Amino acid sequence: MTEKTTELVNDWLERLQANGYRLTEPLRHIVETLVSSPRALGPIEIYDLVRTRYPNLGLVTVYRTLEKLEALGLIQRVHQDDGCHRYLRATQGHQHLLVCTRCGRVVYFAGDDLSPLIQRTEAETGYAIQDHWLQLYGLCPSCRP
Amino acid sequence: MTEKTTELVNDWLERLQANGYRLTEPLRHIVETLVSSPRALGPIEIYDLVRTRYPNLGLVTVYRTLEKLEALGLIQRVHQDDGCHRYLRATQGHQHLLVCTRCGRVVYFAGDDLSPLIQRTEAETGYAIQDHWLQLYGLCPSCRP
DNA sequence: CTTGACATGAAAATGATTTTCAATTACACT
DNA sequence: AGTGTAATTGAAAATCATTTTCATGTCAAG
């Protein structure tokens, strides 16, 4: 774990504590795993990864921890076609993702401004747009043929 | 059911038959329901709607029929935040959706061309982008406060 | 009208997620 | 440091959407 990572882990733990959550063993391990992963992880993946160092972990705790982290905006959900979710550290709130369909590696792409599109669409449809969801899927450089 | 709707239903049934599927009672009812719905429907909703006129229907048949219709591009999946799916007739292949978060009414919005964004992102990231997914969420005119 | 392949419905299986509950533990307050 | 309490945990059971299995039914080709 790099210093950078340790630093981030501490940031997250502070944020959690500041919001009234208790800092526990399982929590720390899950946070560490998420902070240091370059890919989006599913609950079971996190479960398995953490158990190699903390075998007592319960899968339920993973779900509950993910809920907390998402509530604080520390992680972001990645939606998969099959309906399951994976989770990725969110460096700056909600952003647009580019997901590798082969290895799962995720990259943020400069949140190209959707506001013009959104404003135009609001005008055309009469809807009050509250949220949006943009994800691109493709092959990352190392998975390209 | 308007003439327009009947016409569309027949189109769909022809397409299905042309692709080797058999035209059955349950199939007809499900197609009718989907063709005439202005909102995206979930499997259970379709199940309930159809059973008011065809009480024998099995939920499994709904799933299997949705599979066929999606394979032919006649319907399009609407992804929900909870991971469940709803289905909407696709008038012209894959398009971008604007979903009302209150009543579920769905509108297509002019498939604003994402190609510039996609090309730029490919160049920046080195990914080979294969697919995208853009949905907007908001309140439709009749659900606005 | 016969027939074989595809379609159906019921029940059971699966897989992800949630709930329940008793036991444990963090941490605020002595 | 010691204690009380409410938050957190893990295991097991419950739930919910979806899939599989299988015996029966039915479409449509001949």
Whether B142 contacts B103, CB under 8 Å? yes
Best residue of B99, B108, B125, B130 to probe chain A, by most A CBs closer than 10 Å: B125
pLDDT of residue A63: 98
pLDDT of residue A65: 98
pLDDT mean across residues, chain B: 89
Interface touch B128/A139, C-beta < 8 Å: yes
Closest residue on chain A to B100 (Cα): A127
pLDDT at position B131 over 90: no
> What's the pTM?
0.86
Whether A129 contacts A121, CB under 8 Å? yes
What average pLDDT does the segment B39-66 reach?
96
Say how many Å lie between the first and final Cα of chain B, rounded. Answer: 31
Greater confidence, A83 or B15?
Answer: B15
Question: Which residue approaches C10 most closely, CA to C1'?
Answer: B58
The whole-number mean pLDDT for each consecutive block of 10 residues of chain A, a chain of 145 residues, reads 90 96 97 93 97 97 97 91 89 73 78 77 91 86 85
Go through the domains of chain A in sequence order and give each one's CATH number.
3-89 (1.10.10.10), 96-138 (3.30.1490.190)
pLDDT of residue A14: 96
Q: From the Cβ of A71, is strand C under 7 Å away?
A: no
pLDDT of residue A46: 98
**Where are the alpha helices (H) located in chain B, listed in sequence order?**
3-18, 25-35, 43-51, 59-71, 115-125
**Which residues 21 to 40 of A reach strand C, CB within 7 A?**
22-25
Count CA within 13 A, CB hemisphere, residue A93: 1
**Diameter of chain A by CA atoms?**
55
Interface touch A136/B136, C-beta < 8 Å: no
Interface touch A130/B139, C-beta < 8 Å: yes
pLDDT of residue B74: 94
Closest residue on chain A to B85 (Cα): A83
Interface touch B133/A135, C-beta < 8 Å: yes
CA-based nearest residue to A31, from A56, A17, A12, A15: A12
Q: Which residues pair with B106 in a beta bridge?
A: B99
Residue B145 and residue B141: Cα distance in Å, rounded?
A: 9
From the CA of B78 to the C1' of D28: give the distance in Å.
34
Greater confidence, A61 or B82?
Answer: A61
